[in-house]
Structure 1
Amino acid sequence: MAGDLLKENVVHAISTQELERRWAAVRDVMKQKKVDFLLIQNSEDYLGGYVKWFTDMPAVHGYPVSVIFPAADEMTTFWHGSSHPKEAGPAEYLLRGVKKRVTTPIMLSLNFTCSFAAEKVVDELKGYKKCRISFVNEGAITTGFTRYIREHLSGATFVDITDEIDEIKALKSPEEIERIRYSAYVHDEAMKACFAAIKPGVREYEVAAAGRFRCRMLGSEQQFILIGSAPAGSPFPYHSIHAMNRQLRDGDQIGILVEAVEPSGYYTHLHRIACIGKVPDDLAQAFEIEKELQDLNLKLVKPGAHPLDLLKANNAFLRSKGLPEERRLYAHGQGYDLVERPSVQVGETMTL
């Protein structure tokens, strides 16, 4: 029955076999590191992919979702909702590998609710006096959650195996690779829709809306689309919808960045520049340099490569062309997170 509901209501659920593969790999690490419980929390599905990776359900709209992942038992989840136990959600069939669902009326805009989920976590774990706990990416978890748990589980030992979890998460299975390929198709379709919308008089947000609508019609749950435009030869920033009101004109160049998920939640991204009219010579020249740099990077991207070596090579090439160095990041992994490890920037330790 649960399987029928999952198939009927979820556009594309990841397989139970894939979830079990992840759980087993994580529990192997927990056994090696003598960790009894992982505590996981996310509140959105742009850079909050841990909850989705463990449960196949995304955290959305800024409402925190917390998970207890035991080394030797099924999960307990904590979502926003009624505090009545009989009204706990989400629906049971949506949460495979979960033995207990707890909901509380937690909302980050209401400061007095910020420890609500943590109080319930403590209730679940207070019987494990000397347990070993790892928060997963603690720096990204709300302080109200972590502080309360540390204060009220004073007998526990807190360790950090986030790096080990990230290593497992970064290496994609055959099923995940197939979903990423489909995500690339979704991006191709979204970009086609954006290009079809481009003409003088159209506003930037209308171009983005065309791409977003195409993604939605292909089952995408989340879309991050940035547009920038300017007269030929002028630089342009990329804007979110807040500043995407500029009207396109003859001779403009338009940049489009699409980063969306396909129906099972996997991101990839696609960037293109369009011109209304003739392609400026300097833009065409820059495009040729970019292709040369892309070829260089493809030769460097191989198992065992260190991101900092890629960054140095990238910046050396840019300097050789009289161009500014990359000071942010120029490449990164993707999966359930729009930006995922390994990333090519200062501070990254994970190799490819």
Structure 2
Amino acid sequence: MAELYPYPRFSIAERDRRWLAVRALMREQNLDVIVTPQNSGHSADYQANTRYLTHCGGGEPDVAAVFPIEGEVTAIATSAAPRWPTVQDWVTDVREARRNYGRAIVERLKELNVERGRIGITGLGDVEGTRTPEGTIFYGTWKQIREAFPQADLVDATAILDEVRYVKSQEEINVLVKSMEINELAMQAEVETAKAGVKDWEVWAAVHYAMTRNGSELPVHCFWVSGRNPKRTLTRPSMRLLERGDVIINEIEASWIGYRSQGVQPVFVEVVNPVQAELIKVQREVFNRVLENLKPGVTVGELADLTKRTAASAAPKTGPAAGARADLTMHGRGAGDDGPIITPHARSPKQLGVAMRENMVFICKPSAVSADGEYICQWGDTVMVTKNGGRRL
């Protein structure tokens, strides 16, 4: 075993727990092997399954894995030997791709004698991912596997990894707590920096500095926008100067061992818009009611209905927030692209039907919307499902 660089890591016991759970589901579906293809898209979210199984990841690398029902797990990467044996102790079979991942995957699959077997592939596109209904595998990689194994069944294994990753272990929860601690330091830096006359980009930079100096990896999501009454974040800040009465809305996610909690914290510059001030009260009531009901057995769809009912009762009859409504946005937190997900626009029956289980972890960020739709207030925290209701991390 190579000498390891001093990175935070998950334990071997955590590795064994994951491998046992994945292989149990593979046996149920009669799979011989699972391939998790390389794809560093969406701030490396699409690498989550590979990192989940191999502990190879961090930064923005392209890493694939071949995970057999029995035997040695293989990680495949470019510049494999100098990078991955020195940062993790989960896998020792680390192979060079030289940017041709399909070739290296096929070589390993042939060693496993699965020419007439059942090969699972995550991100194949037959089963919708949390944010990836078209899949995540590159066509060239898939083509090489298909041509090398014409008599094998290629099966979408996305649901297997989704299922195992839904419920977090105590180690995973501890890591998400650490991520949230870094998020809170970043929010503090945002509040301290967001003053009239300061460039929007400088506030965003202060947030990133606070995250990285406290241990966050990159890349991370940090969606952001500032203005008098913005309704939706952009993917990055602008060069505008902040003005009195502006509000910054954001999504802040520090990455600790690749796990990202999320915080959503609107920040007002000097004064709060009166409409926003009233909407915050409605939003707080909705958040607290959803949090109380984050218990095993409650479905995502039931929480969405609760959101609307709570807003209807909490909204004042007069004043700027009269008739306000609310929408639920909530999605899994963990290694990346965790499900289930619900937003005002993402409401598939599959996602709405998912029932809560103890130790699921979500970003819960319902929004309160004025009756005319001109103002939106959203605040959110990463929360864990317990038998007594949600717990904020």
TM-score (norm 2): 0.76
Residue 13 of structure 2 is aligned to residue 17 of structure 1: yes
Range moving further from structure 2, 310-319 or 117-126: 310-319
Residue 60 of structure 2 is aligned to residue 67 of structure 1: no
Partner residue of 2:34 out of 20, 38, 42 = 38
- Which residue of structure 2 lines up, in the alignment, with residue 212 of structure 1? 208
Partner residue of 2:290 out of 289, 297, 303 = 297
> Equivalent residue of 1:201, what SS?
coil
Residue 272 of structure 2 is aligned to residue 279 of structure 1: yes
Give the Cα–Cα distance (whole angstroms) in 1 for the partners of residues 354 and 57 of structure 2: 25
Post-superposition shift, 1:220?
Answer: 0.7
Partner residue of 2:217 out of 213, 221, 233 = 221
Residue segments in structure 2 that go unaligned for 5+ positions in a row? 125-134, 316-322, 357-393
Give CA deviations for 1:177-216 in whole Å, capped at 9, x if unaligned: 1111111111111111111111122111111111111111
- The one-letter code of the counterpart of 1:74 is E
2:249–2:265 Cα contact (<8 Å) kept: yes
Give CA deviations for 1:142-200 in whole Å, capped at 9, x if unaligned: 12211221122112122234223211111111111111111111111111111111112
- Which residue of structure 2 lines up, in the alignment, with residue 112 of structure 1? none
Partner residue of 2:227 out of 227, 230, 245 = 230
> Equivalent residue of 1:52, what SS?
helix
1:104-119 to structure 2, matched below 5 A, reads 104-106=97-99, 116-119=100-103
- Which residue of structure 1 lines up, in the alignment, with residue 386 of structure 2? none
> Equivalent residue of 1:269, what SS?
coil
Post-superposition shift, 1:259?
Answer: 1.5
Sequence identity, in percent?
25
- Which residue of structure 1 lines up, in the alignment, with residue 54 of structure 2? 55
TM-score (norm 1): 0.85
Give the Cα–Cα distance (whole angstroms) in 2 for the partners of residues 150 and 350 of structure 1: 32
- Which residue of structure 2 lines up, in the alignment, with residue 330 of structure 1? 329
Post-superposition shift, 1:319?
Answer: 6.3
- Which residue of structure 2 lines up, in the alignment, with residue 128 of structure 1? 114
- Which residue of structure 1 lines up, in the alignment, with residue 251 of structure 2? 257
Query: Is the alpha carbon distance of 1:60 and 1:150 closer, same or farther for their aligned partners in structure 2, counting shifts above 3 Å?
Result: farther
Query: Is the alpha carbon distance of 1:154 and 1:325 closer, same or farther for their aligned partners in structure 2, counting shifts above 3 Å?
Result: farther
2:249–2:266 Cα contact (<8 Å) kept: yes
1:259–1:267 Cα contact (<8 Å) kept: yes
- Size of the aligned set, in residue pairs, is 326
Range moving further from structure 2, 192-201 or 311-320: 311-320
- Which residue of structure 1 lines up, in the alignment, with residue 170 of structure 2? 174
2:245–2:273 Cα contact (<8 Å) kept: no
> Equivalent residue of 2:7, what SS?
coil
1:89–1:101 Cα contact (<8 Å) kept: no
Post-superposition shift, 1:68?
Answer: 0.4
RMSD: 2.2
- The one-letter code of the counterpart of 2:119 is I
Residue segments in structure 1 that go unaligned for 5+ positions in a row? 82-86, 107-115
- The one-letter code of the counterpart of 2:227 is A
Give CA deviations for 1:93-122 in whole Å, capped at 9, x if unaligned: 43434342222332xxxxxxxxx2112222
- Which residue of structure 2 lines up, in the alignment, with residue 109 of structure 1? none
- The one-letter code of the counterpart of 2:35 is L
Give CA deviations for 1:128-150 in whole Å, capped at 9, x if unaligned: 32221110232111122112211
Query: Is the alpha carbon distance of 1:198 and 1:132 closer, same or farther for their aligned partners in structure 2, counting shifts above 3 Å?
Result: same
Structure 1 or 2: larger helix share?
Answer: 1
Residue 252 of structure 2 is aligned to residue 248 of structure 1: no
Query: Is the alpha carbon distance of 1:157 and 1:236 closer, same or farther for their aligned partners in structure 2, counting shifts above 3 Å?
Result: closer
Post-superposition shift, 1:278?
Answer: 2.5
